[in-house]
Structure 1
């Protein structure tokens, strides 16, 4: 695989952004606070279908990235499509390690470097950091989030939501990104559990605030996972074994209030209300 001078991987951070003017600046500032990374780094912001100042704000960081010898490229696409943004970002990327970052995520300073080191090999590897799910104080969101973090998805393996990475050998497992909702699920399940690496560095990922937005967004995520199961059933063999998960009843006894709120959201997800046809927006 291609490496930068000194034998260290060159990193491409691909950042799809659809009307993310409220979130993108802090995301980019967090990247700028990253610890030194061996080898060069490029950040590619793909502003897709934006009607706000996302692209303009991204370009405003050019001097700051240049000051630390990181490349910054801003691509604008007319259509709002995350998968289209990922494909366009990859077409422009030259890194041996590809990091996919959501615009509302704040990486900790060691994360990019740790991912680069962990994926610096010729065999297919996938990686992510340790998520810190943040809430803004909404009562429902606070209790839902606390219980959600005990689910097998959160406690087993490498969830990879918000930010995930892979080396070129891993990315070679499929062609263009398919038109699906849950790109992170698709990516993760293209790797066997033993090929997925969790690095200790953290990142902050904000949970959706409020009952109705939670229902809409978590329903969309469920549909996305079901879509992967239906279209790519062979990938499901790569899911994490569930036999190591703590039983639901035990988790419910440890946090009865969180369990009630969690189940209330799950039941509402199955109802026909609060549905959305938007395949992109996170409902913020």
Structure 2
């Protein structure tokens, strides 16, 4: 495996400013259609974001992802932010995060998917949440990007109302840890569900969901929804098998019968779609294949 590091803006020569930087690490594999929007949303953050470095860990890209990142150099220079492009020969999100960690200079780390767009208040609110001395995990308020297919629209309108999504600091596509929290694990392990692994390294009282929203795309169509749900279930099962000690931090709220009936009345078609997909997932073996989140 080879990795090339290109510091496109904000070349730092001293360690004395590291504690001031907020490091955003983006794992990107063939994201030419999304990475510009992701980076532009970061550049639009308000002044409470402070000093920021963005590391794009481009892993085994065969499209124009790297070219798009290069094209953002001037915009980052104008913001006086640090932009780093890593060209990684081997595909894989955990390895991309590890390479990004090795290149990062900030003590507080934000891990972001390349197809996520953050509202302007996000980085500032995460900075404030991560400013404590004790271990902290923080994420934003998830907002599903309006789906284009009927089936995903109906599925999403039910999913966003589930107790886990409403109260669980989900962290799908965006999660962060302060310096003390990042010490909870070493390198990212080669697991299916990196977000679940990180979240469960923190007790519920150590997890914060800030008010700022991030816009997260959901896969389109019945077949893709079933594939992703199978992969998610396999990811959770893998964590339970490999890291059983982390399960004590799981606080997933099971939906009560009364809540379920309430949701059925609120979104009856959404409930039927969700139940159908859950049934199909149970009939299909779990999958560890990588599936895009849109």
Partner Cα separation in structure 1 for residue 81 and residue 169 of structure 2 = 28
Q: Cα offset for 1:135?
A: 2.4
Aligned match of 1:267: 279
Q: Cα offset for 1:232?
A: 1.0
Q: How does 1:1-284 map to 2 (within 5 A)?
A: 4=17, 9-37=20-48, 39-240=50-251, 242=253, 247-272=259-284, 278-279=289-290, 281-282=291-292, 284=294
Distance 1:216 1:124, change over 3 A: same
**1:100-154 deviation digits (Å, cap 9, x = unpaired):** 1100100000101110111012210010111111123311000100111122220
Contact 1:30–1:107 (CA under 8 A) maintained in structure 2:
yes
Q: Cα offset for 1:3?
A: 8.3
TM-score, normalised by the number of residues in structure 2? 0.89
Distance 1:278 1:157, change over 3 A: closer
Distance 1:241 1:75, change over 3 A: closer
Partner Cα separation in structure 1 for residue 242 and residue 149 of structure 2 = 36
Partner Cα separation in structure 2 for residue 38 and residue 219 of structure 1 = 37
* Structure 1: runs of 5 or more not aligned: none
Q: Cα offset for 1:191?
A: 0.5
Q: Residue 217 of structure 1 aligns to a residue in which SS?
A: helix
**1:34-66 deviation digits (Å, cap 9, x = unpaired):** 111354210000000111111111111011011
Q: Cα offset for 1:276?
A: 6.1
* Structure 2: runs of 5 or more not aligned: 1-14
Count of residue correspondences: 279
TM-score, normalised by the number of residues in structure 1? 0.92
Partner Cα separation in structure 1 for residue 288 and residue 251 of structure 2 = 30
